Structure 1
Amino acid sequence: MVVDVSYISKEHSEDATQASSGVTGILAVQGAFAEHAAMLDRLGAPWKLLRAREDFDDSIDRVILPGGESTTQGKLLRSTGLFDPINEHIKAGKPVFGTCAGMILLAQRLENDPNVYFGALDATVRRNAYGRQLGSFMTTESITTFNTDGTAAGVIEDVPLVFIRGPLVAETGSDARVMCKTNDNVVALQQGNILATAFHPEITDDTRVHKYFLTFR
């Protein structure tokens, strides 16, 4: 999906300023936040970018943590004051969706990194798992969806998966559910209202993963 250049200057969707609830906050300190915003516009879902603590207001019901560089994002989360409100949001069981670096930020354990950020997702994640020589590739897989109690709910068939030096799940804890594998590697997890993918659904033309996230309550 090619993102319109107008997203460079957009801070929120047109309907977000009038909304008292139902807004998706997209972390926008670094990474592919504009692509998520464009995807939400296609679905008619209000959104606003989160660049500083004051951007996180009562209208925000869900959060997206985009792909990018996890170490940089982790530092900027602290310096902008956004770490604490997002952490409280996650601990309260509210919906959060992490893609690529976002999966790393959510993980309880990192295999090749001493840092832990939100530590919410019961998994061990390996950063840059595919290495520079396989930094980017695309495949197609089906994704299993789950109810909040962990029981299987359905399947999203034939989803395009785009990996850009993405992580993978080295170990899945008992609280998380495997949604998708590719080449026998776990690349998507759900844990209650936490959705995490090693791939980038926001840079495809397929809206179904984001549409599924919008069903979380």
Structure 2
Amino acid sequence: MIRVGVLDMQGSVIEHVEMLQHIEGIQPIRVKYPNQIGEIDGLILPGGESTAIGKLIKDFGIYQSLKERMIQGMPVWGTCAGMILLAKKIIGEETVHLGVMDIDVRRNAYGRQIDSFRIEKRIPMVSENPIPLVFIRAPYIERVGKTVEILAEHEGKIIAARQNNMLVTSFHPELTEDMSFYRYFLQMI
């Protein structure tokens, strides 16, 4: 049984847990406390509000153990706000949250909630078929380091990337019925 954590501070936690429940051999774990970090095989950092989540991981005392496990190689997938949490640099801001992935991210790059949109895109590393992608106040990546692999772009902006044990997506796979990114992430574990 593979134990996949979903950081349970704020955001689309339930949606990720429900998607994971559809995959045989996976046990989703809602992660809130430092002692849970050692009990999981991989972790999803959900979409939500990155500033709030960044503050809560410190308030709940989970920051240090979380960062250490990521540096040691625990697979982690940041969706939307999760991408911002992992980034080494947030454009136009002094604050960095976990700062473990060599990417520069622009917050709310696609506008406000009203500017949300959905597209379908073929991402060869993830699926042979087009995948539905939902963007809600989504960030995008402006710069990647040498060891970061770009998985997908939209209109010249990087929307999915991977660096070793870290995966990030600007969009919300948990708001679709498509399991492609979940299967891709599980292969990393």
Please state which band the TM-score falls in when normalised by the shorter chain.
over 0.9
What TM-score, normalized by structure 2, do the two folds share?
A: 0.94
Aligned to 2:108: 128
- Go from structure 1 to structure 2 and tell me whether the alpha carbon gap of 1:117 and 1:199 turns closer, same or farther (over 3 Å shift): same
Report if the CA contact (8 A) 2:76-2:165 is conserved: yes
Aligned to 1:36: 16
Q: Alignment identity in percent?
A: 39
Gaps of 5+ in 2: none
- Go from structure 1 to structure 2 and tell me whether the alpha carbon gap of 1:106 and 1:144 turns closer, same or farther (over 3 Å shift): farther
What amino acid maps onto 2:150 in structure 1? V
Between the two proteins, the alignment pairs up a number of residues equal to: 188
Instruction: Tell me the CA shift for residue 156 of structure 1.
Output: 4.1
Instruction: Select which of 79, 86, 106 maps to 1:106.
Output: 86
Aligned to 2:49: 69
What amino acid maps onto 2:8 in structure 1? A
What amino acid maps onto 2:154 in structure 1? T
Aligned to 2:35: 54
- Go from structure 1 to structure 2 and tell me whether the alpha carbon gap of 1:129 and 1:121 turns closer, same or farther (over 3 Å shift): same
Aligned to 2:186: 214
Instruction: Tell me the CA shift for residue 134 of structure 1.
Output: 5.4
Gaps of 5+ in 1: 1-18, 146-153
For each residue in 1:10-69, what CA deviation from the matched residue of structure 2 results, as whole angstroms up to 9, or x when unmatched?
xxxxxxxxx6xx31111011000111101100112111101222333x331101100000
What amino acid maps onto 2:46 in structure 1? P
CA distance in 2, matches of 1:194, 1:156: 22
Instruction: Select which of 95, 112, 115 maps to 2:75.
Output: 95
CA distance in 2, matches of 1:155, 1:51: 32
Of structures 1 and 2, the larger Rg is shown by: 1
For each residue in 1:112-149, what CA deviation from the matched residue of structure 2 results, as whole angstroms up to 9, or x when unmatched?
2211111111111000001127531000112243xxxx
Aligned to 1:139: 119
Root-mean-square deviation (Å): 1.5
Report if the CA contact (8 A) 1:135-1:166 is conserved: no
Aligned to 2:4: 24
For each residue in 1:79-110, what CA deviation from the matched residue of structure 2 results, as whole angstroms up to 9, or x when unmatched?
00111111011100120000000000001111
CA distance in 2, matches of 1:178, 1:159: 16
